[in-house]
Amino acid sequence: MENNHIEKLFEHDARDRKEEGKLFKNDKEGFQKEKAPISVDSTNSWKVLLVDDEEDIHSVTRMALKGFAYQGKEIQFLHAYSGDEAKQLLPKHKDIALIFLDVVMETNHAGLDLVKHIRDVMKNHFTQIVLRTGYPGVAPEREVIAAYEINDYKTKTELTTFKLFTVTLASLRSYDSIMRLENLRHNLETIVKERTSELELKNVKIMEMDQMKTRFFSNVSHEFRTPLTLIIGPLEDLLVDKELTSNKKDTLEIMHRNALRILGLVNQLLDLAKIDAGSMKLSIIYNDLNKVLRLISGSFISMAERKKIKYTVDIPEEVMNCFFDRDKVEKILVNLLSNAFKFTPEHGEITCSVTSENRSNIDNQYIDLVVQDSGPGIPAEQLEKIFDRFYQVEDGWKKGTSGTGIGLSLTKELTVLMHGEIRVESNPEKGSRFILRLPVGKDHLKSKEYIIVEDEEIEGQSLYIKCNISENSQKIRDDTYETSYNNDRPIVLIVDDNQDIRHHIRESLVKDFTIKEAVNGKEGLEMAIDIVPDLLITDLMMPEMDGLELCRKLKTDERISHVPVVMLTAKAEAENKIEGLETGADDYITKPFNSKELIIRSKNLIEQRKKLKEKYNHQISLEVDESEIKSVDEKFLERARKIIEKNISDCSFDVNSFYPEMGMSRMQLFRKLKALVNQTPGELIRNLRLQRAAHLIKRNYGNVSEVTYEVGFNNLSYFAKCFKEKYGLLPSEYQKQTKM
């Protein structure tokens, strides 16, 4: 009776669990596809191990649990009659769900020994354990029950049929839940392992690619050096030729300077590659560090003079003989000073100071090096990033600089290599301050970190200095160059901050044009307004005002809006920046450009303007449909026409009263009208007067002398002469003809 009742209870329970099981299975489907879990469902029965030295207990237990089923699975009994027998059985049956274990068998604690073996040695924490004993006095301590995850403890007499059912049911439920969780954990672990190994594989591939890139990079850079050396060497030979004309010498110097510049950049790239490959060591010499520092900082004096910068060098006079890597110290200081000079505007201040801790042991010493400038500073949020490779402060180029973003990262990496520290303080109003602490000597270095090299002669400039500041050591020349003013030739205004580029363009165009030069957009705009050129060639990236802004301002300024603009761009800028930008430029030329192409394009633009002149010349008449006036130039012509018209009967109205009314200088008005309609202001006034005269004659305004005065002529015969020139007839003849 009791059994039936319980079995029903079990059946019901089993149904519920089956449903749960299904749900659970569905949830896991995703995992199962990837890896079949070790599932408790894979066996058709629950393995229950009975460990007892009394055969009776075995048979009673079997009998009591006869017909037991949980989740549709029955019990499969395993039997052991001693602890040792059980120990041998256990490894063969890893999926035992429950053990009924007699505490007292061959020894008093044989049962507990087995428990310890299962939990501690076999590390099995899944199998459920129910202890039984015929001697109530030998019950294990509570702590032991808790520590060894023992499910229940019963005296054998307590284990009635009913109690056996409940304890078995509860234990199998726990085992089932634990195994499900275990399966889940196992599946998740498998997935994590798989993903981790996938990632590791990817990582290895990325590293391999990275190494390949570095190798390629390094090989290519290296390959650049030979041809560059073969350019620089012969150029240096050519440059010593005393017979060279100054123009040729200038050109060769540009080539030399710029080849050195490329060499400098290539060497920087090679340094980065070496650092990446971990193959850069310190090459230390024993020499006077202060002298080397003075030599390096001294290389910037001529640049300071040229840029009108107050440059203070504060390096102790005393000799500081020690071990140091000259080459790296030089690279660091040259980079910091080059940046300071690059970013500090004219009349700014730069200080380079060195202090050293005066300790008795020179080998255990460091120097503090500070390079401070009064430049634009670095925004606080970007301070951290400026030492990152290829990082450039946003819009940095607008402030008037170009660069690669390599300098500071190289500086930092070299400093670290020397076990030094570098930091920067910057205040956008006051400028930047780079603070460097460099240990000197070799005591702080491990033997594999350095090699001692021959002490070289330290007089004179190293190749690194030549390559990196050669741009600045160029001869001080008249910054802006003007060819003699020749009225017949079109004026071309070149706006570029790079003196070499200006020189190159000037050399290309000087035969056909009168050349003017400006060093940035701001100066370019002022000069354009002043001289009203026939063509303006401008670089895109420039300090103070870039090419885009210059172009926009020019195109909206009535005085110079007609001037065609050629924008010079680097290829990458052309693709990235110009695309989609309405710059208003009339033509683009990408660098490097060919001189012939520049000449042809310049001539074409000037030629096109001539055609426009004819169009406007034709258009400028007294009958204008105002609704059609649109462009700045058309509006300008309309304003000029109205001013003349307003004063048309005033015979004293002439060029001298015309240009102030237009708000322009005499020269601006002259050049603008010449450029737009190919007429001088005087010619325009006379032409409009004559047009009005013809108009009045046609309308029978009065006799010729009345018309003459009405249109502001005060000399009848001069009027008649001019009229005939324009219309081919004398005014009286014209009058007769229109009457007919």
Point out which residues bind ligand ADP (CB under 6 A).
339-340, 343, 373, 375-378, 386, 391-393, 396, 403-409, 432
Please report how close the Cβ of residue 505 comes to ligand ADP at its closest, in angstroms: 25
For the beta sheet containing 45-51, the strands, ordered from the edge strand earlier in sequence to the opposite edge, are: 69-70, 73-80, 45-51, 96-102, 128-133, 152-155
**Which stretch of DSSP H or E encloses residue 550?**
helix 547-556
Burial per residue of 595-612, b for 16 or more beta-carbon CB atoms within 10 angstroms, e otherwise:
eeebbebbeebbeebeeb
Smaller CB distance to ligand ADP: residue 134 or 403?
A: 403
Query: Which tokens is 467 given?
Result: 């390559």
Based on CB atoms, which residue is closest to ligand ADP, 591 or 699?
A: 591
Q: Answer whether 481's CB lies under 8 Å from 487's CB.
A: no
* Closest among 192, 188, 162 to 28, alpha carbons compared: 188
Nearest approach in angstroms of CB 392 to ligand ADP is 3
- Contact yes or no for 527/560 (Cβ under 8 A): no
The answer to whether 157 touches 132, Cβ cutoff 8 Å, is: no
Task: Pick between residue 102 and residue 271 the one whose CB is nearest to ligand ADP.
Answer: 271
Q: How far is the CB of 539 from ligand ADP (least distance, A)?
A: 17
Nearest to 519 by CA among 552, 502, 497, 551: 497
For ligand ADP, give the closer residue by CB, 375 or 681. Answer: 375
DSSP 470: G
Residue 248 or residue 347: which is nearer to ligand ADP going by CB?
347
Is residue 729 a contact partner of residue 690, using CB atoms and an 8 Å limit? no
Question: Environment class of residue 498 by beta-carbon count within 10 Å: exposed (0-12), middle (13-18) or buried (19+)?
Answer: middle
| Residue from 334, 402, 336 nearest 373 by CA | 336
Residue whose C-alpha is closest to residue 268's, from 212, 332, 340, 207: 332
What's the closest the beta carbon of residue 670 comes to ligand ADP, in angstroms? 44
Residue 536 C-beta: closest distance to ligand ADP, Å: 28
Task: Please say which residue, 113 or 425, places its beta carbon nearer to ligand ADP.
Answer: 425
The tokens of 609 are what?
A: 């303007």
Query: Within a 10 A sphere around the Cβ of 521, how many other Cβ atoms?
Result: 28
Smallest gap from residue 547 Cβ to ligand ADP (A): 19
Specify burial of residue 626 (Cβ count, 10 A radius: 0-12, 13-18, 19+).
exposed
Quick one: 264 or 396, whose CB is closer to ligand ADP?
396
Minimum Å distance from CB 337 to ligand ADP?
A: 9
Sign of CA dihedral 282, 285, 290, 295: negative
Q: Which is nearer to ligand ADP, 218 or 432 (CB)?
A: 432
Nearer to ligand ADP, 375 or 521 (CB): 375
Nearer to ligand ADP, 236 or 388 (CB): 388
The whole-angstrom separation of Cα 289 and Cα 611 is 68
Instruction: Tell me the closest approach of the beta carbon of residue 575 to ligand ADP, in angstroms.
Output: 20
Q: Based on CB atoms, which residue is closest to ligand ADP, 365 or 426?
A: 426
**Angle, alpha carbons 721-726-732 (nearest 5°):** 55
Amino acid at 476: I
Q: How far is the CB of 520 from ligand ADP (least distance, A)?
A: 18
Nearer to ligand ADP, 534 or 544 (CB): 544
Q: How far is the CB of 604 from ligand ADP (least distance, A)?
A: 36
d(CA 118, CA 167): 20
Residue 297 C-beta: closest distance to ligand ADP, Å: 15
Which residue, 393 or 648, is less far from ligand ADP as judged by CB? 393
Rounded CA separation 236/506 (Å): 24
CB of 324 vs ligand ADP, minimal distance in Å: 22
Residues linked to residue 80 through DSSP beta bridges, in sequence order: 51
The kind and range of the H/E element at 282 are strand 282-288
Q: Do residues 497 and 401 touch, judged by C-beta distance below 8 A?
A: no
- Report residue 370 CA to chain centroid gap: 27
For the record, the structure tokens of 506 come out as: 């000037």
Q: What is the three-class DSSP state of 353? A: strand
Nearest to 674, CA basis, from 616, 736, 591: 616
Radius of gyration of the chain (CA): 48
Closest to ligand ADP by CB, 376 or 441: 376
Amino acid at site 448: K
CA count, 13 A, side-chain hemisphere, 13: 15
* Least distance in angstroms from the C-beta of 430 to ligand ADP: 11
Q: How far is the CB of 414 from ligand ADP (least distance, A)?
A: 12
* Residues linked to residue 367 through DSSP beta bridges, in sequence order: 356, 438
CB of 399 to ligand ADP, least distance (A): 8
**At 420, is the secondary structure helix, strand, or coil?**
coil
Question: Which residue's Cβ lies closest to ligand ADP?
Answer: 403
Q: Are strands 349-356 and 310-314 parallel, antiparallel or unpaired?
A: parallel
Based on CB atoms, which residue is closest to ligand ADP, 344 or 668?
A: 344
**DSSP assignment, residue 241?**
-
**How near is the Cβ of 396 to ligand ADP at its closest, in Å?**
4
Spatial distance between the Cα atoms of 535 and 567, rounded to a whole number of angstroms: 11
**Nearer to ligand ADP (CB atom), residue 64 or residue 265:** 265
Min dist CB 260 to ligand ADP, Å, is 16
Instruction: Give 393 or 589: the residue with its C-beta nearer to ligand ADP.
Output: 393
Nearest alpha-carbon partner for 99 in 87, 107, 108: 87
Minimal distance, residue 374 CB to ligand ADP, in Å:
10
What DSSP character marks residue 389?
T
Nearer to ligand ADP, 61 or 339 (CB): 339
Q: 274: exposed, middle or buried (C-beta count within 10 Å: 0-12, 13-18, 19+)?
A: middle
